[in-house]
Amino acid sequence: MKNWIAVSSLLLGLALLPAAGQAGEPRQAAWPSLDRQLSQARAVPGSALEALIRENQDFSLLRAGEANDKIPVPAWLRVWWRKGHPNMVYSAADPSGGYPHVLKEIHQWMLSHQDFVRGLPDVAMSPMAETDGIVGISLAATVGANTRISGLQTSPRSESDIRINFWNPSKIIGGSNSIVASGAQSQFYSADGGVTWGQTSLPFTGTDSFHSDPTVDWTSDGTAWATTIGIKGNALRLRAYKSTNGGATWTFDNTFSGSQRNADKQIMWVDHSATSPYKDNIYVCWHNGTPQYVNRRTGPAGAWGASPLQVSGAESSGTAIGCDIKTNSAGDVFVFWPTTGNRRIVVAKSTNGGVSYGAGVVAATTYDGYDIGVPSFNSRRILIYVSGGTYKTATRNEVYASWTDLSGDAGCTAAANEPGSNVASTCKTRIWFSRSTNGGTTWSAPAKINNQASLNDQFNQWLAVDETTGTIGIMYYDTVADAGRKKTDVWFQTSTDGGVTWSAATKVTTAMTDETTATANLGNQYGDYNSLSGYAGVFFPSWTDRRNNAKEEIWTAPITVP
């Protein structure tokens, strides 16, 4: 077996030197034994997983500090990744360690597909209704029935996107990960305004083993679009798909990340504005290694850019992971991203339909960087990502950014203050918001939109702007209704004055979710993000939900804003 001498030396406890360029770290690392690694992975003897673990024991490729960091990726998987991507930056100063966030999904897929063979396709289901009661009415909004759009599941679904067709609001599409099952991205579709939903999945290209990180949207001709990470071995490529029958079936469109092999955490947006000179342009943002990239497709009849365009620069240090991309009625494009190194929220703007972008503007600085552990979400951890929005009229030129961060109270201002699994910690997380009234040039001081006094945590927010009214909607998980700080509900708030003031929070869910029990998918928990779409006074969120200790499923509910 390759590297067996090196592995044996490790098991005898010989000291490991830090990787080149990482001076100042401990010279000795407590790496796990091979037997422990195989046991933790529950590797089946003779499986491809067992062989991969055995073949990736050269921990001299890693920094010594990686033996005890907070990144939930095993050492053997890091070695395997580094072998395939030796030229990436793996810095101790970057909380991500330089590893793509989707490596967690790769790990989960390997554990559940130990022969490294694609899973069987998901069974397609015609539209049907699966509802769970109406929450009720508040001054802020009326919440309709909770609806399970993914159908009853025996394997977990997590991370989701949802989008109303602004040109025909009776049609809605969604998507989610399905890594433990088939591995193909699950797709959900409704033709009756979200009353009934069908389920299907994206087909694989010839090389991909599984998908991750779903995004969806519509162009004005009625074409539905989806993007995903196509994963084969340690290559990450971004794939686009389209559907001409409302989301029932899908065909492969293009690999828009070009030659990149480390493309991660992409988000898509279509320019929906009838007044925009770039209407129907499709925009996607992501990071490849540390920088932030974008690409565009010039409408359903157009083409993707020949190569991705880097938009981050000297204003960003660490990894630019957790982006969003939005457009206004004039066709201006705004790309939002956080940085893990200097802990910034950065926004770049294009006024020519994505051909070029101005320099990034720093909108805010965060207390923590990359991710945060809280009692309800301490395994996968909260990803600090940005959800943005924009609204422009003859008298308004506003841009909005929201993110999750520590509360900023005394004793809650740095990564060292994270509550982790400590339910009694006085440190907690909140949803933060900042706004620009001059098209993204300058930004307001960040503010918490719902700062309760209790020891509760908020996370996985998503923001959407109703382009017909300018109303901002935002949804998020909150443990405020659980004295034990581990169970969540989904809550929703609105602003009708561009984020100056916010409505009281309205509870969306009719049952709570607990992702800390033994029956939960602890490797993925809630996933990295939820979604929200709003049009003509109606918002549809989508979220990961495992009420009644079921498997993780994707749910929605119509929210009518007066």
Domain ranges of the chain: 4-112, 125-560
For 456-466, what is each residue's pLDDT tens digit? 999 999 999 99
Q: State mean pLDDT over 482-489.
A: 98
- As a CATH number, domain 125-560 is 2.120.10.10
Q: What confidence category does residue 219 fall into, taking pLDDT thresholds of 50, 70 and 90?
A: very high
Q: What is the pTM (predicted TM-score) of this model?
A: 0.93
Decide: residue 116, CB within 10 A, 0-12 exposed, 13-18 middle, 19+ buried: middle
Q: In the predicted model, is pLDDT for residue 155 greater than 60?
A: yes
pLDDT attached to residue 23: 45
What DSSP state is assigned to residue 318? Answer: S
Q: State mean pLDDT over 283-292.
A: 98
Helices (H), 313-439: none
pLDDT attached to residue 130: 87
Nearest to 210 by CA among 192, 235, 193, 188: 235
Half-sphere exposure of 410 (CA within 13 A, CB side): 0
pLDDT attached to residue 128: 83
> Which residue has tokens 């993780």?
552
- Counting every residue written for the chain, the total comes to 562
Q: In sequence order, what are the beta bridge partners of 147? A: 131, 556
What is the C-alpha separation between 478 and 50, in angstroms, rounded? 39
For 47-69, what is each residue's pLDDT tens digit? 999 999 999 999 999 999 999 99
For 72-119, what is each residue's pLDDT tens digit? 999 999 999 999 999 999 999 999 999 999 999 999 999 999 999 998
Average pLDDT value for the chain: 93
Q: What confidence category does residue 163 fall into, taking pLDDT thresholds of 50, 70 and 90?
A: very high
DSSP 211-243: EEEEEEEE-TTS-EEEEEEEEETTEEEEEEEEE
In the three-class reduction of DSSP (H, G, I as helix; E, B as strand; rest coil), residue 20 is classed as coil
For 227-246, what is each residue's pLDDT tens digit? 999 999 999 999 999 999 99
pLDDT attached to residue 126: 87
Q: What confidence category does residue 177 fall into, taking pLDDT thresholds of 50, 70 and 90?
A: very high
Q: In the predicted model, is pLDDT for residue 13 greater than 60?
A: no
Nearest to 367 by CA among 454, 427, 449, 277: 427
